[in-house]
Amino acid sequence: MKSAGKGTTHAWASDTSSIAAVSNVPVQVFEHMHSYQFRAKSKGHALHTRRFALLTSAQFLCTLCHSPSTTNDSSMLILTQEDHDVFKALNNRRPDIKKAIIALAGKEKKGEEDTEKDTDDEN
């Protein structure tokens, strides 16, 4: 979470009332296997270390409605029916979601350029 405006440091936030206030959201990456099951994505080498990613607030779509069931080693998630329905709906709209993320990223960059121009004009 950014503590103030552009150029300030990031700080840990365990929760927030607005996803837009978050700079990056750390997530563990899972891949869909079949039906309600997802497995932890590994980095693809012998150590089988789990893959994590940092999502920008524009890339973050939603949270699960319910806690999923997990295996003992947390390598598999099993979604509830309600969360699986949300996954299916989002998965069916991937092209639209990708376009929206690209559009949001473009707006963010344009906003940064406008801010830089305003700063240059003041000098």
What is the pLDDT at residue 93?
95
Q: Can you give the pTM of this predicted structure?
A: 0.64
Distance CA 37, CA 21 (A): 31
Please give the pLDDT value at position 87.
93
Q: How confident is the model at residue 102 (pLDDT cuts 50, 70, 90)?
A: confident
Long-range contacts at 80-87 (CB < 8 A, ≥ 24 apart):
80/36, 81/36, 84/35, 84/36, 86/62, 87/32
Helix (H, G, I), strand (E, B) or coil at 113: helix
Distance CA 73, CA 100 (A): 35
